[in-house]
Amino acid sequence: MSGQTVSLVIAGNGGAGVVTAGSLLLEAAAKSGWYAYMTRSSGPQIRGGEAAVMIRLGTEPVSSHDDRFHFLVAIDWQNLNRFAAEIPLGPDSLLIGDPGEGEAPESIVRMGAQRVDLPMKALAKGVPGGRPNMIAFGAIAAMIGLTEDVVLEVLRDNLKRKGEDAIAASIAAFRAGVEAAATFPAVPRLAATKAGSSERWSITGNEATGMGALRGGVRFVAAYPITPATEVLEWLAPALPKVGGVLVQAEDELASINQIIGGSYGGVPSLTATSGPGLALMTESLGLAVAAEVPIVVVDVMRVGPSTGIATKSEQSDLNIAVYGLHGDAPHLVLAPTSVADCLFTTQWAVHLAEMLQTPAIVLTDQAMGQARAVISRSAAIAFMGQREKPAALEAGVQYKRYANTPSGVSPMAVPGMAGFTYTADGLEHNETGTPSSQASDHQAQLDKRLRKLTGYNYGDHWADISGDEDADTAIVTWGSSAGPAREALERLRSEGRAVKLVAVRLISPVQPEKFERALAGVSRILVVEQSHSGQFYRYLRAQYDLPRQVKALHQPGPLSVRPGAIVEQITQWS
């Protein structure tokens, strides 16, 4: 990670306001010209329960957590032991807790961090209307070097609806926190940079996915609520009507995907968002969209599986079902964003490709990425706006061939309302006009065509993010949210003078063998990094690509994310 960063955790019971404190902190950081990355962890309880926000602030864009947190502020200790594994602390870390809340759980204490007392409840009591989370916010701001004028601006902005009394109480509590932290041991303080915050966005991966969909032209969404994808839908529900679109809450995932197939058949670019269990229900109809050549986009915000798994936590284990889950030979697109910000680009690109190639696209994000909030540079609008090829006027007496066997494999697609082009879209194998056919020659021709349109398309340079040393002989190959820690590991290794290259694959399917070979020219060993127990990505690469002789795989199940240090260790052990 270039530039300076500071990593912290705010934890407490569900009503303690840790997410509020975290969000305020992010906004103040952005106004100070910094970047930020915030993930959250919560218990399975519907209300209350334990909650923690993990935050990393930096003077350069941040896309992953560090190996350890510099400090943890616990408003109380309720069930914090459940998160211990997700909150690595070291002997140099600070464990800041309220002495009035009793002892820290053993699993936290064991990590050896230096204990610091911050009597948040008592200090809050001394301020009329004050709350412990604002004391914590003040202490954190003082420790990391946020200036008071920036914080006050953010507080006033966020609390203006609550009235002057609430603002005054929060400011007073904030100042009490600042004062209390004056004697605390030092943590990294970030230098204020030129405040370019007018061009900063605070956005979650799920919101970015929604924005990417709209930029790509999606105007119809049907979906069924599911953790952790629901926020994609909750952002789109009020946004879609503003831009001339519609969102429908369907009765189940079978209905969701079939509704969007219907909407898209009607000519309107359509999308649904779900998680693993929903994707499993949708696979039959994904095959229908392949066979009937109806463009759709299905976003899978992956969570820990199989079955209900751990619904609130992240894992990269839906790769196999996304690539191989459809019955029959059913070529389709599978894409994966490589960061919170990239959810926007990749979703927009997926819509573009689906429309151009008249096929379903699955976008694999995950809980860590989808529910993470990041302060990023504004995402510039890009030109991808897929246009379906429509048929040109026909000569009299000529029948329209919906599934014409064209050289590119893409057949001009009529839209209901176009006179002279009526046809029946069909999941049954068919001939060029769409009439059902059980003949071997029609099956062969249509299979060839549906494959050809995907393999013959030029995906340009977007298939992967490639960074690092061009002539490196060692490469890290990864995908999805594991690209974040991999990027940081790359920087650390290069700052130690090692030549390493990083390939973060965005286009999972169809495979790009020539581009992959070019990207790995001169590389004699690769480390594959992913968050799945069985090494799904590693096995996928093994099956689909020619790999160098030396291959190591770093794969671990969720919910723990891969830490940059673990990647660095694997590479350094190698030589």
Partner 1 sequence: MDTCVKQREYTAKDYKSDVKPIWCPGCGDFSVLAAITRALATMNLPPEDVAVVSGIGCSSRIPAYTSVYGFHGVHGRALPVATGLKIARPDLTVLVTGGDGDGFSIGGNHFLHACRRNVDLTYIVMDNQVYGMTKGQASPTTSPDWDGSKLTPDGAGINPFHPLVVALAAGANFIARCSSSDPNNVADMIAQAIRHPGFSLVHVLSPCVTFRPEQAEWKHQVRTAVVDVTDDPARAARRLMTDDGFNVGKVLYKGSRAPYRPEAKGNVPVAELEADFAL
The residue ranges that bind partner 1 (CB under 8 A) are 27, 30-31, 197-198, 200-203, 207, 211, 214-215, 219-220, 222, 235, 239-248, 250-252, 254-256, 258-268, 270, 284-285, 287-288, 292, 375, 378, 381, 416-428, 434-436
Q: Which residue has the tokens 């529900």?
A: 237
Q: What is the DSSP letter of 388?
A: P
| Amino acid at the residue 53 | V
Instruction: For the chain, report the end-to-end CA distance as a whole number of angstroms.
Output: 22
Based on CB atoms, which residue is closest to partner 1, 176 or 222? 222
Which pair of tokens denotes residue 145?
A: 């070097």
Based on CB atoms, which residue is closest to partner 1, 450 or 555? 450
Which pair of tokens denotes residue 359?
A: 């096929």
Q: Specify whether the CB–CB gap between 485 and 562 falls below 8 A.
A: yes
Based on CB atoms, which residue is closest to partner 1, 85 or 243? 243
Q: Rounded to the nearest whole angstrom, what is the least distance from the CB of residue 271 to partner 1 in the complex?
A: 12
Q: Rounded to the nearest whole angstrom, what is the least distance from the CB of residue 264 to partner 1 in the complex?
A: 8
Based on CB atoms, which residue is closest to partner 1, 288 or 504? 288
Q: Rounded to the nearest whole angstrom, what is the least distance from the CB of residue 133 to partner 1 in the complex?
A: 21
Q: Rounded to the nearest whole angstrom, what is the least distance from the CB of residue 414 to partner 1 in the complex?
A: 8
Q: Rounded to the nearest whole angstrom, what is the least distance from the CB of residue 268 to partner 1 in the complex?
A: 4
Q: Nearest 5°: CA angle at 320, between 318 and 324? A: 130
Q: Rounded to the nearest whole angstrom, what is the least distance from the CB of residue 101 to partner 1 in the complex?
A: 33
Based on CB atoms, which residue is closest to partner 1, 78 or 256? 256
**Nearest residue to 73 via CA among 59, 100, 54, 50:** 54
Residue 243: Cβ-neighbour burial (10 angstroms; 0-12, 13-18, 19+): exposed
Q: Rounded to the nearest whole angstrom, what is the least distance from the CB of residue 403 to partner 1 in the complex?
A: 13
E strands present in 214-314: 220-223, 246-249, 270-274, 296-302
Based on CB atoms, which residue is closest to partner 1, 141 or 222? 222
Based on CB atoms, which residue is closest to partner 1, 70 or 215? 215
Q: Rounded to the nearest whole angstrom, what is the least distance from the CB of residue 241 to partner 1 in the complex?
A: 5
Peptide bond into 228 cis (omega under 30): yes
The number of residues making up the chain comes to 575
Based on CB atoms, which residue is closest to partner 1, 259 or 274? 259
Q: How many whole angstroms separate alpha carbon 396 and alpha carbon 394?
A: 6
Based on CB atoms, which residue is closest to partner 1, 192 or 254? 254
Q: How many whole angstroms separate alpha carbon 231 and alpha carbon 247?
A: 13
Based on CB atoms, which residue is closest to partner 1, 381 or 543? 381
Q: Specify whether the CB–CB gap between 481 and 506 falls below 8 A.
A: no
Q: Rounded to the nearest whole angstrom, what is the least distance from the CB of residue 82 to partner 1 in the complex?
A: 32
Q: How many whole angstroms separate alpha carbon 175 and alpha carbon 170?
A: 9
Q: Rounded to the nearest whole angstrom, what is the least distance from the CB of residue 197 to partner 1 in the complex?
A: 5
Q: How many whole angstroms separate alpha carbon 223 and alpha carbon 212?
A: 17
Based on CB atoms, which residue is closest to partner 1, 210 or 331? 210
Q: How many whole angstroms separate alpha carbon 275 and alpha carbon 298?
A: 10
Q: Rounded to the nearest whole angstrom, what is the least distance from the CB of residue 257 to partner 1 in the complex?
A: 8
Which pair of tokens denotes residue 293?
A: 């050549």
Based on CB atoms, which residue is closest to partner 1, 248 or 560? 248
E strands present in 206-245: 220-223
Peptide bond into 510 cis (omega under 30): yes
Q: How many whole angstroms separate alpha carbon 513 and alpha carbon 507?
A: 12
Q: Rounded to the nearest whole angstrom, what is the least distance from the CB of residue 358 to partner 1 in the complex?
A: 15
Q: How many whole angstroms separate alpha carbon 452 and alpha carbon 455?
A: 5
Q: Rounded to the nearest whole angstrom, what is the least distance from the CB of residue 391 to partner 1 in the complex?
A: 13
DSSP codes joined into one string, 1-45: --S-EEEEEEEEETTS-HHHHHHHHHHHHHHTT-EEEEEEEE-S-
Taking CA atoms, 211 is separated from 228, 272, 279, in Å, by: 17, 13, 21
DSSP codes joined into one string, 437-479: ---HHHHHHHHHHHHHHHHTS--GGGGEEEEE-TT-SEEEEEE
Based on CB atoms, which residue is closest to partner 1, 59 or 561? 59
Q: Which residue has the tokens 């009235």?
A: 163
